[in-house]
Structure 1
């Protein structure tokens, strides 16, 4: 009886209930894992020590990624048998590689070279065994289909870029987690539109795992960070969502997102990529240093210097990213090069507007002070 039910069961026939169950499982596991993480972190003194670059002044547990990982493991284990099992098991394998690397880095510190190799291995597992890769540029710059070897290399580049971009923005309370929550909500919408229930399930489960974390990440007492464990897993998941979305849209030209898939994907991860390229440019061109040299030139540091709180900084950045995604949806029927130009232009303007506004205010204040000094 049970076997027959499982054989003919299709989650798409009960999609709302299915996604609610996935969300609640992840939420429950994540919520109930954090007390143990706090107890172990405090007892074993597994804390993040404030440094010269830190925007925090107190020692804080940094193992929040464990709860996120455990939530996803439980969802994949319990619900994965009724989904695309092969893809989910390989996804879980890649996540496990990054989980243990991130955990070691949070506890003992891991060399960048070993983290980089681990990221390549986790990505290659999915690229090779599922053949999920970026097969073309959708006509951007006149390029449609890529040679296999270049397709694999470019897909690896996208994985490494997004994973490390999310790691780099994890410097303000709630920023990495909130952007990841928004990205998962956006991908849930997209995957439901394309009827990719397996990816929609994982995206919703990730939302469920992030909500208890964000509650604690924003808290003043019993605060916790996701650490490299969490940021690498989240970055890996989102990079897989991007690659999966682009791969499926390229293969099935009847997809409603065929003409806009790369623009929508870019809109979803716009801020992490913008901040990464901006910081690398500043470090290489202006400071003549390695692009991986740590500093306080990130956009979120700029918001803090303007007097914004952590919550205000996170809220402002996430709202702008949501606006960009909505605009990308509205532009999805435009010619693809026009979509790209609009997204890059509007995105850059929106993120620059905050700083320009404060610069104008400061200029007016200085002019007013000088005028008063002259009169006196």
Structure 2
């Protein structure tokens, strides 16, 4: 992709976002603060619509053989956008998610793999999509975290191993960068909404699974370590407290730091972004390939993270 085309794409994405802001304001697609919110201002919801639209632009301009992946993306984006406007039936949403993940698997030829690898891929896909959605709760975290992950994937794809079309990563990266300009602020102009968090989670699943399949290296799941630590530990603590893990809440560690400790949302977002950035650097330059080493890293990181949570949040809050 040439510099001139990159600049044109950025301009187009900015214009699309600004037009969406007008439409969202007119049709009242906004996020009203409630007891579970980490914000106090009425804000436009669904700014992440730029992510699937960017891939539509990719399809129109470049053409693609990744038709099943894109169909899955648009399906999951449509139901997510509908959910941003008005709550969608949980069963319908689950069915669409399963169909979309199935299309992604078909694109990557995962159905030809042994059942246990299929099972791993399924849990990774569903878990990642939901994790990215759960972690979309404060300004800057979705855009910034996705940006650092996509930059890492672009670097790997460009300088280490070609696992997907470089233009596909780049155009996704540009759309996330444009969204981040409007979201990484003390007072965000828009939130990603379900369409943003779910679609970017779906896209990241596609890239990371493609990379794992190409390299036969499971350690690339560490590209989502920071999010994984927060989501997994939060789910475990909610189980211990006998809470319904499917109900909306704000008991993630990042929410505690922002809502209860008074750390600004942008600083909390930066902590997670920088933590993942360090992990990515280690992953790239140490060329980790041993599954045992990956498990060790995840275990040690998990222990440290849980210890931090106990020190900051206390036993009563975490264990009830």
* TM-score, scaled to structure 1: 0.76
Aligned partners of 2:197 and 2:239: how far apart in 1? 24
Task: Quote how far apart the aligned CAs of 1:127 are.
Answer: 1.5
- Of 45-54 and 62-71, more deviation after overlay is shown by 62-71
Distance 1:333 1:247, change over 3 A: closer
The one of 262, 275, 298 aligned to 2:218: 262
User: Do the aligned residues in 2 keep the contact of 1:180 with 1:234 (CA within 8 Å)?
Assistant: yes
After superposing the two structures, state which structure 1 stretch, 328-337 or 179-188, moved more: 328-337
Q: Indicate which of 163, 183, 192 corresponds to 1:196.
A: 163
Q: CA deviation at 1:354?
A: 8.5
Q: 1:271 aligns with which of 205, 226, 237?
A: 226
Post-superposition Cα deviations, 1:263-311, rounded to whole Å, max 9, x if no partner, equal 2x222111222222111111111x2122112222101112112221011
SS at match of 1:269: helix
- Matches of 1:19 and 1:311, distance apart in 2: 32
Give the match's secondary structure for 2:232.
helix
The 1-side partners of 2:163 and 2:293 are apart by 28
The count of corresponding residues between Structure 1 and Structure 2 is 312
Which residue pairs with 2:317 in the alignment? none
**Do residues 96 (structure 1) and 77 (structure 2) align?**
no
Cα distance change on mapping 1:348 and 1:113 into 2, 3 Å? farther
Shift of 1:97: 0.2
The equivalent residue for 2:65 is 86
2:197 aligned with 1:235: no
Query: CA 1:130 to 1:209, structure 2 compared with 1: closer, same or farther past 3 Å?
Result: same
1:215 aligns with 2:181: yes
Say if 1:164 and 1:25 are closer, same or farther in 2 by CA, change over 3 A: farther
Q: Which residue in 2 is equivalent to 1:289?
A: 243
TM-aligned CA deviation for residue 150 of structure 1: 3.4
1:301 is aligned to 2:255: yes
Pick closer, same or farther for the CA change 1:347–1:19 going to 2, 3 Å.
farther
| Structure 1 residue 191: Cα displacement | 1.6
CA contact (8 A) 2:229 2:305 kept: no
What's the CA shift for 1:235? 0.4
CA shift digits 1:70-114 (9 cap, x unpaired): 1221123212x3xxx322x22211111011101100001113322
The farther-off stretch of 315-324 and 124-133 is 124-133
State the distance in 1 between where 2:94 and 2:28 align: 27
Q: Which runs of 5+ in 2 are unaligned?
A: 315-320
Q: Which stretches in structure 1 are left out of the alignment for 5+ residues?
A: 1-17, 136-146, 251-260, 360-376
Of 3, 7, 24, the residue aligned with 1:41 is 24
Return structure 1 stretches of 4+ with deviation > 6 angstroms. none
Whole-angstrom distance in 1 between the partners of 2:304 and 2:146? 22
Equivalence for 1:77: 60
TM-score (norm 2): 0.89
Residue equivalent to 1:187: 153
Q: 1:202 to 1:174 in 2, by over 3 A?
A: same
Deviations 1:138-176 (A, max 9, x none): xxxxxxxxx2x3333332221111100000000010101
SS across alignment from 1:271: helix
Cross-structure match for 2:133: 167
- State the structure with more CA Rg: 1
Shift of 1:338: 2.4
